[in-house]
Structure 1
Amino acid sequence: MGTLDRLWEERAGEFAGTAIRYLRLVANSGFMFSIYALFLVGGFMYPAFLEWLPAYVPVLELFTLVFTYFLTRNPIRTFLKEADMVFLLPMENQLGPYFRKSVLYSYVLQSLFIVLLYFILGPLYQNRLFEESNSFLLVLVVILAVKGWNIASAWAEWRLQDHRIRWGLLFGRILLTASVLYVVFSDASWLLAALLLAAMAGAYLAYHGRLSKKYALKWEAVFSMEQRRLSAFYRFIQSFADVPFIKTPVKRRRWLSGLADRMPFQKDKAYRYMYVKAFVRSGEYLGMYARLLLVGCLVMYAFPFEWLRVLVSVLFVYLTGVQLRTLWYHFDTNIWPDLYPLALSEKEYSFQFLVLRLLLLQSILFSAAYLLLGTYMLFSLVILGAGLLLSYYLARQRPKNRLELS
């Protein structure tokens, strides 16, 4: 086996070894205990949820939207490094097996998640969409086939330079994927589903399959995709272990950055200004905060029992507080804040200032969400009170020194 043939296995094995060591730290943390508790409560309440779910909820459309999103979202791990754009670029024609392994690797990992999601939603599917169990696995086969078509087509589209063409092709894949899913989930016509799958195969053979012969791979775009996937993984791990080599993307977000610009330019407000800017403009903190808030509200809506809604709201405030700890280390790789003539207490106070207000806001929003879903004002006050106490506790817990893995 040549050097290029071994390259992918060596890099994938190196990443797997590092990821396993980090994930052991996560598995031993309180964060994973919260996830386990959420799954146990969810499994216990699933039958009651199926009975409670109103008949007017568009389950078919929701299934179609959810699986369309995960089937057409196709990040591909290539394990490329920055130097590869210099040393491997001249050998692009010999890297076909390398990239095929990358596409297959990404397909397997993403398919495992889709299978897990499908089986989690399986009781709801059989209860509301199709009571016969003999088509359950056949639908899964169709889903995985559509996923394979999407990820192969998405990889071929990375050779296109024009973003408008790529967005147009993505829109077309979304429409075709949603059409297939709607047909199979509604059990409308397997003949129509077969025709749509044949159209997918024809589109790939007629267009996507020929792109590799017409265009060279856009290495900078592929490397940027690899960095985004790697950074997303390490930003999650950064809450539990030290990841000094992480690269954080920055998004301008003028409509939110203006809030930080209104803060007074005073010496003791320097860290406060920096933390607010980091939360707003970083690629993960704001998105993580919004996702946990949205998912928490959806889980509260799904659970019919009042005390479980209280538990869910408190649990999601805790999860948000754990994830926000990463913000404390946001400037560790930048030497300039260390040169500021400011005491460490100013940094601690600014960090606690922002985290406390973010958690208080989330607690208030969860309490307001309960008022729309629940029937007892007392439980809304309990959510607010428990959230306030937990917010003060989490904000005062400055992250300790994290473990450093070499």
Structure 2
Amino acid sequence: MKTEQLFIQRMSSSWRQAIRIISLIIGGGGTPIVVGAMVIFLSIAYSRFLLWLPKDVPISYAIAFLLSLPLTFSRLRTWIQPADLTFLLPLETKMKNYFRYSFIYSTSIHLIRLLLVGFILFPLYQLRLGNTTSFGITIILLCLLQVWNSYISWLEDRLTSFQSSRYVHTLLFFRWLINGWISFFLLTKHEWISLFSFVVPILHLFYLRSMISGYPYPWMLLSERERKTLMKYYSIAGWFVDLPHIRFPVKERKWLTWFLEKLAPRQKAFSYLYWRTFFRHGDLFAIYLRILLWATVIILFLPNLWIILATLLFSIWLIAIQLPQIALLQRYPLITQLYPITQEERISCFSRMCWLLLASFTLMMVMVGAMTVVPVLYLLLIGTAGCLLGYFLSYVYIPKQIREKS
């Protein structure tokens, strides 16, 4: 089999699986409504932000920074598996076409991502900097820069075999500076400076190409990155559908150990186990923080009574639907099921944890609302509604979900 055919097979298989998961998400019934509501909320918040934005804010710096991020972080998707270190390593000299196809695919995805970011930032650009034509020319030139970034990112990966991580991170930082520099001068219509600045990426390209001559492919790095990429996608899908066959990674997060001891002493075995799982789960704790950030932005930019209420209740529901996977016995070793404690006692421990998480979230959202113009009395009523919903989800909805899946 030709190596490029192997890449196409893996890419097709991955997309078929993704389409099946997306179909399950869409078939969930309420998902289109939820996504539509989120888009409406964010678009309203964005328009309010544009109206609020002071005239002395340096928009060009902000847009250049935001554009530099997708330009810089342009890793290749290779679908390299752990077993490839055994079966494909002998074919390393014939893998050139495989990685060429990977580069074409990944660069296409990165260009789509850049265009999407540009579409989102266009109202901000149009507000102060220019019109549609000038922004279109800027995006076209940035697309060329995106192709360069994808290739340089691949060369940086090749360097990891023999160069220190500090050196590779320095190259990444230098590339980010180049992207920010060129983006800024393109946005501010300094065309000649921008065009002259493109000499730097070209020289940097020749420099890296001369370094990697004879370097092997970074098989371990690519395999680990593919695993992390899959976990990231599964985590997003887990917001909407159950994926019990997926084993998510665990992170130590030692800085939370002292807090964990306060919440659940080790003598309370399952309380300690559930809290520890929540904090160390590869994505659950991060999801909680992301929802907290999302709700904070909505409340600050849309200080309306009903919008705050809807945001709070919707956020609590989003968190609650993720939590039951912590209590599933299938995720723990078999010996855990032999512990002398009944299912109802386990559910009681878990419900208490869910209630503390949702009540804490409600309290933080009320504190954020206190920084807006909404009267305190209304915020107390909103907080009460959030606590009632959190209590219902913690002691009625979530226990029911656990019993059905046990």
- Taking structure 1 as the reference length, the TM-score comes to 0.89
* 1:66-111 deviation digits (Å, cap 9, x = unpaired): 2222222234321122211100011112111111222322222233
Provide the residue aligned with 1:365 in structure 2.
364
Distance 1:239 1:133, change over 3 A: closer
Q: Which residue does the alignment assign to 2:101?
A: 101
Counterpart Cα distance in 1 of 2:60 and 2:333 = 49
Residue 266 of structure 2 is aligned to residue 265 of structure 1: yes
Offset at residue 333 of structure 1 (A): 6.1
Q: Which moved more, 1:281-290 or 1:217-226?
A: 281-290
1:324 corresponds to which residue?
Answer: 323
Question: Which shifted more, 163-172 or 340-349?
Answer: 340-349
Task: Report the Cα offset of residue 44 of structure 1.
Answer: 5.2
1:170 Cα deviation from its structure 2 partner: 1.1
Deviations 1:37-82 (A, max 9, x none): 1213444565454323333444333323322222222343211222
Q: 1:244 to 1:31 in 2, by over 3 A?
A: same
1:168 alignment partner AA? T
Matched, 1:223 2:223: yes
Answer yes or no: is the 8 Å Cα contact 2:327–2:402 preserved in 1.
no
Question: Partner of 2:308 in structure 1?
Answer: 309
Contact 1:314 1:383 survives alignment (8 Å): no
Q: CA 1:144–1:344 in structure 2 vs 1: closer, same or farther (change >3 Å)?
A: farther
Identify if the C-alpha distance between structure 1 residues 4 and 63 changes in structure 2 by more than 3 Å, giving closer, same or farther: same
More divergent stretch after superposition (324-333 vs 248-257): 324-333
Deviates more, 1:57-66 or 1:277-286: 57-66
Q: Deviations over 1:221-262 (max 9, x none)?
A: 111000000111122323444434423222222110222234
Gap change, CA 1:348 and 1:210, over 3 Å in 2: farther
Q: Residue 363 of structure 1 aligns to a residue in which SS?
A: helix
**Structure 1 match to 2:394:** 395
How far apart, in 2, do the equivalents of 1:347 and 1:74 lie? Answer: 44
Distance 1:401 1:264, change over 3 A: closer
**Equivalence for 1:180:** 182
The answer on 1:22 being equivalent to 2:31 is no
CA distance in 2, matches of 1:142, 1:103: 19
Name the SS for the 1:25 alignment partner: helix
Distance 1:402 1:111 in 2: 44
Shift of 1:117: 2.6
> 1:257–1:281: 8 Å Cα contact kept in structure 2?
no
SS of 2:9's partner is helix
Q: State the distance in 1 between where 2:329 and 2:216 align.
A: 37
Task: Name the amino acid aligned to 1:110.
Answer: H
Deviation at 1:359, TM superposition (A): 1.7
Contact 1:331–1:337 (Cα < 8 Å) also in 2: no
The C-alpha deviation readout for 1:148-186, integer Å capped at 9, x for no partner, is: 222221221112241111111111111111112222223
Q: Which residue of 2 aligns with 1:166?
A: 168
Give 1:312 deviation, angstroms: 2.6
- Determine the structure 2 residue equivalent to 1:284: 283
Cα offset, 1:343, TM superposition: 2.0
Q: Distance in 2 between matches of 1:74 and 1:307?
A: 40
More displaced stretch, 102-111 vs 282-291: 102-111
The verdict on how the C-alpha distance between 1:356 and 1:254 changes in structure 2, with shifts beyond 3 A counting, is same
Aligned-residue RMSD, C-alpha: 2.5
Q: Once the 2 structures are TM-superposed, how far is the Cα of residue 301 of structure 1 from its aligned partner?
A: 2.6
The aligned counterpart of 1:129 is 129
Q: Any idea what SS the aligned residue of 1:392 has? A: helix
For structure 1, which segment, 63-72 or 170-179, has the greater mean C-alpha deviation from structure 2 after superposition?
A: 63-72
Work out whether residues 139 and 185 of structure 1, in 8 Å CA contact, stay in contact via their aligned partners in 2: yes
1:204 matched residue in structure 2: 205
Distance in 1 between the 2:324 and 2:104 partners? 35
Three-state SS of the structure 1 residue aligned to 2:266 is: coil
Structure 1 gaps, min length 5: none
The aligned counterpart of 1:51 is: 51
Once the two structures are superposed, residues 278-333 of structure 1 have per-residue CA deviations (whole angstroms, 9 ceiling, x without a partner) of 22122212222112211221222333544323333332332222333443348526
Question: What is the rounded CA distance, in whole Å, between the counterparts of 1:107 and 1:59 in structure 2?
Answer: 28
Task: Give the Cα–Cα distance (whole angstroms) in 2 for the partners of residues 153 and 323 of structure 1.
Answer: 38
The percent identity for this pair of structures is 26
